[in-house]
């Protein structure tokens, strides 16, 4: 649904790591951020209402501990490696299913239940349920997720030193990059009668 439009960027860390590899511009990644946070908060409100809870209830569930901090680093690192490994191997269309499978598995193998997303961390603050997180625990989770993203950049560069911006652009779902995301570069075309490239803006009369 959202992939052909924006690449289905729901996670700020993934978006900014993508920007680091040229998949999107830094400006685009920053523009995604408020939408990602607003979407996660909205999702928490809808979930509360679906279970006959108050629309907004601030969580009291404390999750700030060294174990949770390490878990979020590992969870975020693993998530980004899954995404970029699929893109590098030409299987980016499998990313949506792979991401869902990874998050489902990481729910069980991490003590933090694998938030792995700063936007969802903020959103779950608005749900005083077993899935929520107390506001005081949010900063440590977000910092851990950012650390996981930074580590992921280094690991990806080590594993795939020749990863291209085109591959990075398709990390979640193949989509067309907006014109504003592409640096202005000369575009050439090849005439059928010649192998020499000719600037696209050259007029017929000039030929």
Contacts of 124 (CB under 8 A, 6+ apart): 40, 44, 59, 115, 131, 132, 133
- Is the Cα dihedral 112, 118, 120, 122 positive or negative? positive
Better pLDDT: 5 or 177: 5
Q: What is the dihedral of CA 87, 160, 183, 31, to 10 degrees?
A: 60
User: Per-domain residue ranges for the chain?
Assistant: 3-181
pLDDT tens digits, one per residue of 89-103: 888 788 889 999 999
Question: Which residues lie closer than 8 Å to 40 by C-beta, 6 or more apart?
Answer: 117, 119, 120, 122, 123, 124
The model's pTM:
0.78
DSSP designation for 177 = P
Quote the tokens at residue 16: 């900014």
Contact 174, 92 (CB under 8 A): yes
State pLDDT tens for residues 36-72.
999 999 999 999 999 999 999 999 999 999 999 999 9
**Residue pointed to by tokens 């299987």:** 91
Written out in words, the top-level CATH class of the domain with range 3-181 is: mainly alpha
């Amino acid at each position: 649904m959202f992939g052909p439009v924006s690449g289905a960027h729901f996670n700020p860390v993934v978006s900014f790591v993508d920007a680091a590899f040229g998949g999107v511009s830094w400006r685009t990644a920053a523009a995604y951020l408020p939408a990602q946070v607003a979407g996660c908060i909205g999702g928490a409100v809808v979930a509360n209402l679906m279970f006959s809870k108050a629309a907004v209830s601030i969580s009291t569930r404390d999750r700030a501990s060294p174990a949770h901090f390490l878990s979020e680093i590992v969870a975020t690192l693993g998530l980004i490696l899954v995404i970029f490994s699929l893109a590098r191997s030409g299987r980016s269309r499998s990313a949506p299913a792979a991401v869902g499978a990874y998050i489902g598995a990481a729910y069980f193998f991490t003590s933090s239940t694998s938030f792995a997303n700063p936007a969802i961390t903020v959103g779950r603050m608005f749900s005083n349920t077993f899935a929520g997180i107390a506001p005081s625990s949010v900063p440590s989770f977000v910092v851990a997720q950012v650390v996981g993203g930074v580590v992921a950049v280094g690991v990806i560069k080590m594993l795939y030193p020749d990863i291209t911006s085109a591959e990075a652009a398709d990390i979640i779902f193949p989509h067309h990059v907006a014109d504003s995301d592409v640096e202005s570069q000369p575009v050439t075309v090849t005439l059928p009668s010649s192998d020499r490239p000719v600037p696209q803006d050259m007029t017929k009369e000039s030929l």
